[in-house]
Each structure stands twice: as structure tokens, then as C-alpha cells.
Chain A
Amino acid sequence: MRTNERLGPGKVAANVLLLLAALFYLFPFYWIVSGSFKIQNVAIQIPPEWFPKEPTLRNYADLAKSPVLRWTLNSFLVSLGTTALVCGTASMAGYALAKKNFPGRKLIFWAFIAAMSLPKQVVMIPLFTMLAKWRWIDTYWALIFPAVGWPFGVFLMRQFSQTIPTELLEAARIDGCGEARMFTRIALPIMQPGIGALAIFTFISSWNDYFMQLILVRSTKMQTLPLGIAALQQEFLTNYGMLMAGAAIASVPMIIVFACFQKYFAQGITLGAVKG
């Protein structure tokens, strides 16, 4: 009966549909990678060459003449800087909100929650004028600090900190353990999976924070990889081989990060939602 159902026409149809959908999702990646190995004439020929017959590295060589290395470096610096600061500030704040008793705790927590449910749009323009006044346009600070203020990380870390057994902290206190040691020796190890999830989440969203990067960067050398690729698109219009090489460079690091940490990632998303 069960085996019968498993092979029933509904299941087969569902799996075929799933396979088609997966191919549809994978095709753009295939087109990026295969396109990056085609020279201009081949890339735009119709009918299209489904598999590059004479793969070439010329696009990558041409791309190397643009500041692509600098863009990659910028993207990594910004994403890593944001991630480190978010994880540091959020784990400390989340721990305090979950495990400490102090006047104003509820108020601070609700301020974070209220800000989190408001969309970013009200912030962007004033943020830009403020950073422009500070002469922070074209600096790493402008690309890093605003993202650190966003309270999602604090919220997520508070959720994770609630799983720290209070007895454990209490016992440590009786043994004469100071607040700082209590945090680093007891709380942090327990919160570690949560911090992992937050780190990947922050890294990827910072890498893809195209709008903020677009308005806060002016010079070519401060561009991030997504900005650089977008600029190439305007400059080289239909040189798709070269554009795809750029697109490949911008997405491959993310795919590796995601593949390595998928478990943490799924965990973070579900925890943020279930208790949200």
C-alpha cells in the first residue's frame, strides 16, 4: 500500500515538476559559468551554443585589467567587518537582554523590536545626508557601520541566549566568576551555533546590500563587487562573456560560503521565525 502510494502518478508528477523547477533555478548559474568561457561573438550567436565548444579564459584576463581585485577586496572587507561587528555587539546585547535583570530592560528590548518591524526606507535618505555631512562617502565606515545598527542580530542573539541555563550562570557567580568571564566562558560557547547563523546571514546580506553601496560609493576604487559588475554592464552593454565572468566572480564566493554553512543558516532562519 505504502510503496504503491510512493510510486503513484501524483508523486511521479510532483517529482518531475520538482526536477524541472530545479533545472529552471540552476540554468542562470549554468549560463553565467558557461557564458564566462565564451568570447563575445560566440556569446551572442543565435542559435546559442549550449556548451562552449572552445572555452577561453580571455574574459577573465580582460576582467583582470579592471579593478576587479580591488572590488573583491572591498566586498570582503565590508562584509567581514560588518559581520564581526554585528556578531560582537549583538551577542553581548542579546545576552544582556535575555539573562540580566536591570532597570529599563523591557523598554530597550521593545525599542529594538519596534525598529525591526519598521522598514529601512525611512532611514536611507537621512542616513545618506548624515554620512555625506560627516564626509564618510567613499569610506569603509559608511558601508559597515549603518548595517551594524540594524537590530535583527540583537533579537536573534536574545532568542539564542534564552537557552543558556540560568543555574549555570548562577553557579559560576557563586564560584566568584566575574561578569566578563561569565560571558566569554559560559554564555559564548552555548550561543556559538546562533552566532554562526548570524554570521552567515549578515555576511550574505551585507554582500548583497546593493542599494546602500550604490548611494554611498562614488569612486571606482571604493566600489564593491556587485557595484563593479553593475558598472561593467553599463560600460560593456552586450559583451556578455565578460559580464558573465564578473557575475561568476561575484557569486562563487557566496555559493561556497553557503554550501559550507547551510546547516547553520537553516537553523538561524527557523529560530528567528519560530519565536518571532
Chain B
Amino acid sequence: MSDALARPARASRPRGVSHAKESFAAYVFLLPALCFFSVFVVYPMLRGMYLSFFKLAGRRMTFVGLKNYVDLANDPVFWRSLGNTLLLVVGNVPIVIVFSLFVAATIFRKRPFTRSLLRGVFYLPAVSSVVSITVVWSWIYHPRYGVLNYLISRAGAEPVAWLGDPRFALAAVLVVMTTLSVGQPIILYVASLGNSPESYVEAAEIDGASPWQRFRHIVWPLLMPTTLYIVIITTINSFQVFAIIQLLTSGGPAYATTTLMYQIYERAFQIGDFGQSSALGVILAVIIVAISVVQYRYFKSDVEY
């Protein structure tokens, strides 16, 4: 449909010269974007897949077939990082959905000023500076000088090495990650609540539906496309989280918080194994694409009831 709208009406003018001119103009308009796109996205993307079949030592490249992948499959650190990544994703996505839906539903009927203000508050961590937020959290979590341990000791609990204890480190990372993830979902939910037809909700209210019933049977289905989009972007973003890990724990203690993304960095830039790092990049990309496709299928079937 949009294609039909977008196609210029050309009945009133002769084909030929002006058509060629229009095509030429279109290519000129596209040229700069296409140049950047092919040099800095398409070429590296293909090159990344290619590199994953090589061993790189200094300037020497040796073809090793699937060795990089096989080595990874036999590497417990790889499986650990995959497990941690999945835990972070599985932890983050539902929290983001529930929390942002709660915030959006609570603020969307408020006055525009209050609404923008609150929306801004929850977006602040993500837009301000991820590094700043991470640095302040590393202070909050500090076993001796951190506010968190002070507060729990006041409540009578023992101090905890939040980032140094393998039992807590991943959860501590997840909390920071969550605060950085809800901004965009809240904006989307507020917009989509504003677009959903009031009349359905009111009709249900008159029919005596409880707030929960109204939500479960009317609002939630109406929000489904938005929820799908939020699930997909939050999943993708959770897979790619890096700065938080590097600055809070560097993947430690004892690989308790290492992730695929962090392994890509560590293997390339600390160990110097670019081939294996490329293979990890390919694996991560395949996982993300596969999950997005599955989520899309699943939610789509849920929307078209």
C-alpha cells in the first residue's frame, strides 16, 4: 500500500528523458549513503564471516576451516559466557516489559508536563552517559565505601561483595542493565496507550469488567505489536551489553559475569586471537537473528487471533 502511495503520479508527463533524469537524480541522492553503507557495513560483515575461518597471527593468515568454531565448542569459558548472556537476556526482558508497562500505564493519564518529566526521569540513565552511570554504580556497590552495604548493614545484614562474589555479581550487573533499558520501552508504551481506542476500555468498564480483566483482555492484546517490538529490541540490546560488564567486573570474578560480547573483546584485544573473536561475532549474530525470528513468529501468531 505504501508503495502505491509513494509512486509518483506520472500520467501527466511523457516518459523518456524525464524518467531517466529522475533515476539519475535518485542514484545521486543515494550515492553517499550507499558508499558509507558498503564500505563500513557490508564489506566488514562479509569479511567477518570470512575471517572466522582463519587463524590470524600478526600479519599472517592461515586458513583453518572450522577450527575456530570447534575450539569454541570445546571451551568451557565460551559456554559460561553463553550461559551468562542468556541469563542476562532472560532476566532483563521480562523486568523491562513489566516495569515499563507499569510506569507507562501510571503516567499516561497524567498532565503532559508531569508525563514528560517522569518519562524523562526513566530515560535519563540511557541517554546521559552509560559510562557515568556505570562508574557511580561501581561506587554504590563497593564493599567498603558503597551506600548499598551501608544500608543493608543498617538493616542488620552482613556486608556483601556485590561485584566480587560469584553468587551476586551477575545479578548486580543485571540491576544496572535494567535501569539502562527501560527508557525507550516506556516512551513506546505511552505512545501506544495513547493510540488505543478508549471506547473499548469504557465499554468493558460499563459491562462491569474488573481492572485486571480490562487489562488482560483489552489493553494487553491492543499493546501486543508494541510489546513484540520491545521484546525484540530489548533482547538484541541485552545481548550486546558491554560497557557495564567491562567497567563493573571485567567479566569476573572467575568468569561469573563474562558474556559473549565481552569474550569478543577479550579474545581479540587482550589475547590477540582475531580469528576466534570473529567466529564469536558470527555466533552471536546468528543467535540474535534466530531469536528475533522466533520471537517475531511467536508474537505474530498471538496478535492475529
Is residue B44 contacting chain A, with contact meaning CB distance below 8 A?
A: yes
The residues in B between 1 and 36 inclusive whose CB is less than 8 angstroms from any CB of A are: 2, 5-10, 12-13, 18-19, 21-23, 25-30, 32-34, 36
Contact A130 B150 (CB under 8 A): no
With A32-B136, A276-B229 as given contacts, are A122 and B131 in contact (CB-CB < 8 Å)?
A: no
Question: Which residues of B lie under 8 Å from residue A98 when comparing CB positions?
Answer: 6
Is residue B92 contacting chain A, with contact meaning CB distance below 8 A?
A: no
Q: Chain A interface: which of B72-80, B165-173, B237-245, B297-305? A: B237-245
Question: Which residues of A lie under 8 Å from residue B62 when comparing CB positions?
Answer: none
Q: Tell me, rounded to whole Å, the shortest Cβ–Cβ distance linking B182 to chain A.
A: 9
Contact B145 A151 (CB under 8 A): no
Q: Tell me, rounded to whole Å, the shortest Cβ–Cβ distance linking B265 to chain A.
A: 7
With A48-B147, A120-B240, A273-B226 as given contacts, are A28 and B125 in contact (CB-CB < 8 Å)?
A: yes
Contact B102 A17 (CB under 8 A): yes
What separation, in Å, do the CA atoms of A227 and B130 have in the docked complex?
Answer: 11
What separation, in Å, do the CA atoms of A43 and B142 have in the docked complex?
Answer: 12
Is residue A254 contacting chain B, with contact meaning CB distance below 8 A?
A: yes
Question: Which residues of A lie under 8 Å from residue B136 when comparing CB positions?
Answer: 28, 31-32, 35, 244, 247
Q: Tell me, rounded to whole Å, the shortest Cβ–Cβ distance linking B66 to chain A.
A: 17
What mask results when residues 1 to 44 of chain A are scored 1 for a CB within 8 Å of chain B, else 0? Answer: 00000000010001101100110111011011001000000011
Chain B binding surface, main DSSP class:
helix
Q: Tell me, rounded to whole Å, the shortest Cβ–Cβ distance linking A196 to chain B.
A: 15
Contact A26 B8 (CB under 8 A): no
What separation, in Å, do the CA atoms of A254 and B129 have in the docked complex?
Answer: 7
| Residue of A with least CB distance to B105 | A14
Contact A18 B22 (CB under 8 A): no
Contact A119 B9 (CB under 8 A): no
Q: Tell me, rounded to whole Å, the shortest Cβ–Cβ distance linking A115 to chain B.
A: 6
What separation, in Å, do the CA atoms of A35 and B137 have in the docked complex?
Answer: 12
Contact B44 A102 (CB under 8 A): no
The residues in B between 254 and 269 inclusive whose CB is less than 8 angstroms from any CB of A are: 261, 264-265, 268-269
What separation, in Å, do the CA atoms of A180 and B22 have in the docked complex?
Answer: 11
| Residue of B with least CB distance to A270 | B191
Contact B127 A254 (CB under 8 A): yes
Is residue A250 contacting chain B, with contact meaning CB distance below 8 A?
A: yes
What separation, in Å, do the CA atoms of A127 and B45 have in the docked complex?
Answer: 8
What separation, in Å, do the CA atoms of A87 and B124 have in the docked complex?
Answer: 24
- Within 8 Å by CB of A115, from B13, B45, B133, lies B45
What separation, in Å, do the CA atoms of A48 and B136 have in the docked complex?
Answer: 14
Contact B116 A262 (CB under 8 A): yes
Is residue A169 contacting chain B, with contact meaning CB distance below 8 A?
A: yes
Contact B30 A247 (CB under 8 A): no
- Within 8 Å by CB of B132, from A122, A124, A248, lies A248
What mask results when residues 193 to 234 of chain A are scored 1 for a CB within 8 Å of chain B, else 0? Answer: 000000000001001101100110000000001110110010
Contact B51 A162 (CB under 8 A): no
What separation, in Å, do the CA atoms of A122 and B48 have in the docked complex?
Answer: 6
- Within 8 Å by CB of A247, from B13, B103, B132, B236, lies B132
Contact A119 B239 (CB under 8 A): yes
Q: Tell me, rounded to whole Å, the shortest Cβ–Cβ distance linking A199 to chain B.
A: 14
Q: Tell me, rounded to whole Å, the shortest Cβ–Cβ distance linking B199 to chain A.
A: 16
A–B complex contacts, Cβ < 8 Å, 30 sampled:
A17-B106, A46-B144, A85-B36, A100-B22, A115-B37, A118-B285, A119-B236, A121-B281, A122-B278, A125-B264, A126-B43, A127-B44, A129-B47, A129-B274, A149-B39, A150-B40, A166-B5, A166-B7, A170-B8, A173-B18, A208-B131, A210-B243, A211-B265, A214-B265, A226-B129, A229-B129, A230-B131, A254-B129, A259-B120, A273-B226
